[in-house]
Amino acid sequence: MRFKRLAWSELPPPGGYGSEAYTALVPAGSLPALKVGAQIIADSEAIAEYLEESVPLPPALLSDTPPHSITHPSPPPTLPR
C-alpha cells in the first residue's frame, strides 16, 4: 500500500489477535486483513490482486500475468539416486 502511495491506517485486530471479535470478522484469524467498505479481504495474495485491480498504477505485480492467475513456482523435480 505504501508502494502504491495509498492513504491507509493500521489498526490492531478488534479484541486482539485470536479474539472472538476478530475471528468473527476473519474466521482464520490471519493477518493481514484489509477492510474495504463492508468487505474484508484476509489473504496476502488476494489483497495484492485487489490493490492491483483497483489501483493499477504504479504496477506492483508482473505486467504479463493476468489478475487471478498468479501461481507459485513448482518445487524442483526430485532426481533419481
Domain spanning 1-56 has what CATH number? Answer: 3.40.30.10
pLDDT (tens digit per residue) in 34-67: 888 888 888 888 888 888 888 777 777 766 655 5
pTM: 0.62
Residue 30, strand partner residues: none
Only one residue has cell 471479535, namely: 21
What does the domain layout of the chain look like in residue ranges? Answer: 1-56
Rama region for 15: left / alpha / beta (φ>0; ψ in -120 to 50; rest)? left
What pLDDT sits at residue 68?
Answer: 54
Q: Three-class SS of residue 36?
A: strand
Where do the DSSP E strands lie in the chain?
34-36, 39-41
